[in-house]
Amino acid sequence: MRRRSFLAASGAASVSCARRDRRPNVVVILTDDQRWDCMSCAGHPFLKTPHMDRLAAEGLRFRNAFVTTSLCSPSRASLLSGLYAHSHGVTNNFTEYPQGLDSYPAILRQAGYRTAYIGKWHMGENNDEPRSGFDHWISHRGQGLYNDTEFNINGRRRKVSGYYTHVVTEMACDWLKQPRQTPFCLILGHKAPHSANVPEPKYARIFDDMKIEPPATARDPGRGKGEWVRRRLKTWHGVEGPLYGNHDYGRFVRTYLATIPSVDDSVGRIYDTLRQTGELDNTLLVFLADNGCLLGEHGAVDKRVMWEESIRVPMLVRYPEAIREAGTRDQMVLNIDLAPSLLDFCGGRPPAGAHGRSWKPVAARADAPWRRSWHYEYNYENEFPYTPNVRGVRTDSWKYIHYPNGAGQADTELPELYNLAEDPRETNNLAADPSARGKLDELRAELARLLAETGAAPDNMPVNPRIRFEMPDPKIR
């Protein structure tokens, strides 16, 4: 692909000039709908991600990173603000990030950082205008396209030809090469591996020879789950539905996976650019996803639910100044922890009212004390009527999932209780098991405590209609 310059007429310098302010830079690479296990360093059987693996080998891999709402816009707002969705107000994919709400880029900008957002923003479906908190802005409306997306580049729209992952990476590398005397914060938002997946040509068929079988729970979601789980099998979010236009399970999974090598190439280019500019070891480099994605588990092919494949995400951190020994961490870190953590490393104040906490002590010590439980929330959407309201609590070894009906009405869906230590695939619902009644009561009380602690009491949500079968509007898929 021919080199382009997307920056000001002054051009990009190949090496940034030395600067006196040695506060760490921040680079966050954000993927869309990437499962925690879709990296070779996380044990994927055939997907190879050497550049992600290098970050893990030179830094930390958080094995238990989760999102508090597994839906793109709410999770992205939580990443920026450190708040739960009920507090920041972005509870669906069509709500703007609130004007005036704290975010870590805005706080860093106030502290003298240069800030940039490049790529998929996805808060406010039809608005691509530059957002506050960023000196440099390149994004687009809605989902964008895998090829030839129209971008808003600092207030001016332009269609840019090329494959999305490489286009935004080129833009990011150009920006990183600009000479500056102050530290910087860059967020690079990828579209991949969000559906409907279009791999770049050189990777489009790399998994054609791989035998792809549905997971055991694809058509038998397990003992004790509610009837709604089976009702949704033939919907847009069910494994017996159209599979985002693929109409074949193997093709659906192959195209999903085949978009990730391009992202891995992007990680390598960002790494190399930071090294070339002399900023690599003074940059807090974070790689993570906005949420996970089910690939047939429990009969589902989406997110939104509280099962592990939906809520668990990849998270890698490289910053040798603070991470003296590479390794893994098992503490449960959340998307709401990102903002307070980055600001802690950079010496900034935490976002106002943040629910998250800094994992800086965890980065320094594998045995650092940490949270033992956290709660999850998702509100039913009329635009995607395939998942009920969800509230739940997860501990190190147990999970309780509640499907409240809303408006104080009696529940119509069965709750779920899993012993994750013995049943990591969540196939044996113990909610009706008399021997687990004590644990059920304990986790119900813990959920109520956590909701109250984060200001979600009373807990407002829509009323759950039954699962519907109509396809969503093509414009918002």
Omega before residue 98 within 30° of 0, cis:
no
Q: What is the pLDDT of residues 72-130, one digit of tens each?
A: 999 999 999 999 999 999 999 999 999 999 999 999 999 999 999 999 999 988 899 99
181 contacts: CB under 8 Å, gap ≥ 6? 17, 19, 20, 21
Q: Residue 9: pLDDT above 60?
A: no
**Nearest in space to 366 (alpha carbons), one of 409, 330, 338:** 330
Please tell me the predicted confidence (pLDDT) of residue 250: 97
Asked which of 18-32, 394-408, 414-428 is least confident by mean pLDDT, the reply is 18-32
Return the SS3 of 448: helix
Please give the C-alpha separations between residue 431 and each of 227, 400, 412, in angstroms, as whole numbers: 15, 8, 15
CATH architecture of 25-209+239-368: 3-Layer(aba) Sandwich (3.40)
Please tell me the predicted confidence (pLDDT) of residue 378: 98
Q: What is the pLDDT of residues 122-176, one digit of tens each?
A: 998 889 999 999 999 999 999 999 999 999 999 999 999 999 999 999 999 999 9
Q: In what order do the strands lie in the sheet with 390-395?
A: 373-378, 390-395, 398-402, 416-419
Asked which of 217-221, 299-303, 327-331, 446-450 is least confident by mean pLDDT, the reply is 217-221
What CATH code would you report for 375-470? Answer: 3.30.1120.10
Q: Residue 450 and residue 399: Cα distance in Å, rounded?
A: 14
Please tell me the predicted confidence (pLDDT) of residue 113: 98
Q: Which helix (H) or strand (E) holds 250?
A: helix 249-258
Please tell me the predicted confidence (pLDDT) of residue 441: 99
Give me the residue spans of the domains in the chain.
25-209+239-368, 375-470
Q: How many other C-beta atoms are found inside a 10 Å radius of the C-beta of residue 94? A: 15
Please tell me the predicted confidence (pLDDT) of residue 368: 96
Q: What is the pLDDT of residues 218-263, one digit of tens each?
A: 988 878 999 999 999 999 999 999 999 999 999 999 999 999 999 9
Of all residues in the chain, the percent with pLDDT exceeding 90 is 88
- Burial of residue 15 (CB within 10 Å: 0-12, 13-18, 19+) is exposed
Please tell me the predicted confidence (pLDDT) of residue 220: 87
pLDDT band at 17 (very low <50, low <70, confident <90, very high): very low
CB 272 within 8 A of CB 40: no
Please tell me the predicted confidence (pLDDT) of residue 13: 38
DSSP assigned state of 223: B
Q: How many other C-beta atoms are found inside a 10 Å radius of the C-beta of residue 201? A: 8
pLDDT band at 407 (very low <50, low <70, confident <90, very high): confident
pLDDT band at 7 (very low <50, low <70, confident <90, very high): very low
**Nearest in space to 164 (alpha carbons), one of 206, 196, 132:** 196
Please tell me the predicted confidence (pLDDT) of residue 15: 40
Q: Residue 35 and residue 43: Cα distance in Å, rounded?
A: 12
- Average pLDDT over the chain, rounded to an integer: 94
Asked which of 15-19, 171-175, 345-349 is least confident by mean pLDDT, the reply is 15-19
